[in-house]
Structure 1
C-alpha cells in the first residue's frame, strides 16, 4: 500500500526571531545559497523549507532531526543523506508560494509537489497561450469563466509537480501534455496526479505509482520541537 504525506507550513505566521537557531542547522552550501537571496520572504521560504525537509524525512525514517544531512545541488533539488544504519529510502519534494511551504514525503514512490497561490488579478488565458500547449490552452478557454482561475492554477501546478517528479527520477523524458481529446489528464503510463484547491492555493502531487492514501498535515508553531508536540497530541 503506497502512501504519501503532504506537510504544510505557513512562514507568514512566524516571527523572524523564531528563526535564530535555524541557520545553525544548515550546511555551508545551504548558507551560501541562503545569503544569495535578496528578498527576505524568499530567504524565509528557503530556510524553513530546509528545516521542514529535515523534520519530515527524520520522522519518516524514525531517526533524529540532527542526523539528516541535506546536500545542495546546483540547478537541482537537494539530496538527503541518512545514517548508514537507516534502512528507509525516503522520497521527497519541496515547493513554496507566498510564504507557504509544502513538503511531500513517501517511503514507497518518487514524488513531485507544487503549491501555487491563486491570483485572480493575472490574465491566465494570456499566460496559458505562452506557457501551455495549444490543447492545454484551448482546454482552459473552454472552462466556465468563473472557474478559469482555479482551472489554470490546477493545470499549472500539475505540470510543475510532474516536472519535479521526472527530475527527481533523473529521467530525460519530456514533459507530457496534460490535456488530450479536450480532457485534462490525471495519469499517464508512469505517473499519477492529484490536485487540491484550499486556502487560496492550488496544490498538486504527482507520484510515479498510484497512491492509496495521501495525508495532509498543517504544522503550527515555530520549531521542530513544537511540531513534534503537535503530532504527539
Structure 2
C-alpha cells in the first residue's frame, strides 16, 4: 500500500517579534505587493506576507525552483491554487490558515486539503445551533467547562478545514454536513481528519480527500525565525 505524507507547518507570530517582515516583500510579485500594501492593519499585512512566503518556500523546494518563481491564482470562490500555466507539472495541494497568534499551512500530494487553526474560547458556544448538527451539538454538550470548549473547536475546525479543502468558500452552510468527532485521527471512505493541540491553547485540524489503497502519515513542524531567514537564501534553479 502506498503511503502519503500530510505535512503540517505552524508558526507562532511571537517568533518574529524582532524580525522586520518588510525584508520579505521582494518575494511577492507586483500584484501581491499591491495586495500587501492595501491592508492598513499590520496584523493583516503580516498574515498575508508570511503566508505567501511560507507557501513559496515549501512549494519551491518541492518543484526545485526559486521561491520568487512560484505564482498563484484563485478559483472563483477565492481558494488559492498554483497557476498551472506557469507550473504545469505539479501534484501539490496546499492550504493556509491563521488565528491571532498562529500561522498554519498544510501540504500534500494530489488530494484536496484544507486546514483551520483556532484559539479555544468560550464565547462562541452560543453558535452551535446555527452551525452544528444535532449529533454534533449533543457531543459538545456532553462535556463540561474547558472540555466543552475544546469539543466545540474540535468540530468547528474540522468543518472549516473540510469547507476549505472543497474550495467552495462560504457557499456550503456548516450545518448542512456532519464531521466525525471524538478522535485525533480519522480516515473514512472519502475524507480524513487530523487534529492537534498547538501553541497558546489552540486547535489545528487538517481535512483531506482520501485516495484508494493509500495510508497516511503526518509530519508536523513548528517554524521559527531561522526558517524564514533561510528562505532569503534563494537556491539556484535546477
Q: TM-score, normalised by structure 1?
A: 0.81
Aligned pairs, number: 223
Aligned to 1:36: 38
Alpha-carbon contact 1:54-1:70 (below 8 Å) kept: no
The aligned runs of 1:210-229 (5 Å cut-off) are 211-221=215-225, 224-226=228-230
Of the candidates 2, 9, 12, which is equivalent to residue 10 of structure 1? 12
1:125 corresponds to 2:125: yes
Task: Report the Cα distance in structure 2 between the residues aligned to 1:36 and 1:188, rounded to whole angstroms.
Answer: 42
Alpha-carbon contact 1:9-1:100 (below 8 Å) kept: yes
Cα-to-partner distance string for 1:104-148 (whole Å, 9 max, x where unaligned): 1112422111111122xx334312223222322222111243411
Task: Report the Cα distance in structure 2 between the residues aligned to 1:156 and 1:82, rounded to whole angstroms.
Answer: 32
Q: TM-score, normalised by structure 2?
A: 0.79
Determine helix, strand or coil for the equivalent of 2:167: helix
Q: Which stretch of structure 1 is more off in the superposition, 24-33 or 153-162?
A: 24-33
Aligned to 1:147: 147
1:165 CA displacement? 1.1
Q: Which stretch of structure 1 is more off in the superposition, 9-18 or 151-160?
A: 9-18
Aligned to 1:51: 53
Task: Report the Cα distance in structure 1 between the residues aligned to 2:223 and 2:147, rounded to whole angstroms.
Answer: 29
Query: Unpaired runs of 5+ in structure 2?
Result: 234-238
Alpha-carbon contact 2:99-2:117 (below 8 Å) kept: yes
Task: Report the Cα distance in structure 1 between the residues aligned to 2:155 and 2:226, rounded to whole angstroms.
Answer: 32
Query: Unpaired runs of 5+ in structure 1?
Result: none
Aligned to 1:205: 206
Alpha-carbon contact 1:45-1:99 (below 8 Å) kept: no
Give the direction of change, closer, same or farther, for the CA distance of 1:100–1:146 in structure 2 (3 Å limit): closer
Determine helix, strand or coil for the equivalent of 2:158: helix
1:82 CA displacement? 6.9
